[in-house]
Structure 1
Amino acid sequence: MNNTLREIFAKQGRLAQALEGLSDDADLFAAGLDSLAIVNVMLAVEDSFDVEIPDEHLNRATFSSISALAAVLQKLQAEQHSA
């Protein structure tokens, strides 16, 4: 999952800093992520993982790091499988 998220952020995140040098817990906003890029990242994530990110997760914390977004996605996928 994290590798796929890295690919999405590399393509859609328009980061000022290369992802290769960042850990999964690194602050992506400090690396140059902005609100416009978040929209592109969100759409790519929803397509790639076949989920819809609910409004309560459309916030800075969700997209602050690869690890944070992965945790939200894992929760959403678990909810889908239990429904």
Structure 2
Amino acid sequence: MANHKSSLKRIRSNEAKRLRNKYQHKTTRNAIKRLRDAESKEDAQALYSNVVSMIDKLAKKNIIHANKAANLKSGLSKHIAAL
């Protein structure tokens, strides 16, 4: 167990950040699934800008790698084009 006040605070803040990152990542994954399950091209395009924004925020905060974000966005745009 940590002894210093600062290390105890770091443990608390790390846990809070971990939970926040986990929530944002899971929310984004669910949004991606909703976009992939969209039946019509119009519905998918309406969701696309929102999902891309979420992916960019994750990449900016280093929750996911920048290349993974690029691959996700590319795959989603190809999926929408194929509808």
TM-score of the aligned structures, taking structure 2 as reference length: 0.33
Which entry has the higher C-alpha Rg, 1 or 2? 2
**Greater helix fraction, Structure 1 or Structure 2:** 2
If the length of structure 1 is used for normalisation, what is the TM-score? 0.33
Q: Which has the higher contact order (CA 8 A, sep 6+)?
A: 1
